[in-house]
Amino acid sequence: MELYFLGTNAGVPTIQRNVTSIALRLLEERRSMWLFDCGEGTQQEVLRSPLKLSRLEKIFITHLHGDHLFGLPGLLSSRAYQGGTAPLTVYGPPGLQQYIELSLGISQSRINYQLHIVEHTGGVLFDDGQFRVESALLDHRIDSYGYRIVEMDKPGKLNQELLERYGIKPGPVYGKLKRGESVEVEGGVILNPQDVLGSPKKGRIVTILGDTRPCPNTVVLARDATVVVHEATFLHDLADTAYEYHHSTALQAAEAAKAAGAGQLIMTHFSSRYKDQEQLQPLLEEARSLFPNSLLAEQHVLLPVPDIGQ
């Protein structure tokens, strides 16, 4: 699992940074990509990245402000040109379907793949036994949602030395044991999964929050998260401005991560007043004063989601 930031600016694009879009790459798990928000210019940023729209499986929109949404019609209509023919599901707040259908309809854009639009008001949105996605309402000028992606625990490693004693080599039997099935080996011996599997590998949790003031649901969604991605539009000396515009400061992002017991905080959605990475350093210092394992999102920089225990 890897996070790749296609845009980290708030409100409008700048020369240095595009507006919000975050890719979550699911590599070993399913060889696919999920996108969170799709600000103007996202498809151009994808072209400059190692990402492939043909592997795009789901898009999650946090809210319907333009800096999180204006890139969606273009990306949807262009996806097929990059080999994207598999079904695609877009999740977001009420109004999303009207926006997509109207913009694609008026422009007479043709989609040659199955496009599913799921409007929601929070709750469990998806669960396939491998991943579960939950959502909850945040505190912004319009309805804005955060997403909690939970990777299910994986079976522990097989004891290959023990299996070799029974003459079992890598193959179908390994798969059965990992799926929790008992197998019969030579001599009529029954091997149960618990006899040959180590402790389960704890699944990771990634929380990606939309624009928000500090509110209880930021902590609920980020509880025990491996990584939480939180907006940090301003330094805390502009806390009054942040409150007025329904945003958060770097210190408030750190407070949420600490209260949630998260492992790592990645901050994004920076005000244009902070021109470059050097001018963003005070936000990082502010967050680290309370939550040391804080990072600044940087466009076109890949950030692996660490395994539990790393």
- Residues designated as active site: 67
Nearby residues of 253 by Cβ (< 8 Å), 6 or more positions away:
230, 231, 232, 265, 267, 287, 294
Block residue for tokens 């994808």: 46
Radius of gyration of the chain (CA): 22
Nearby residues of 247 by Cβ (< 8 Å), 6 or more positions away:
10, 211, 212, 213, 231, 233, 234, 269
DSSP 82-122: GT--S-EEEEESTTHHHHHHHHHHHTT----S-EEEEE-SS
Per-residue tokens: 101: 């259908």
Burial class (CB in 10 A: 0-12, 13-18, 19+), 151: buried
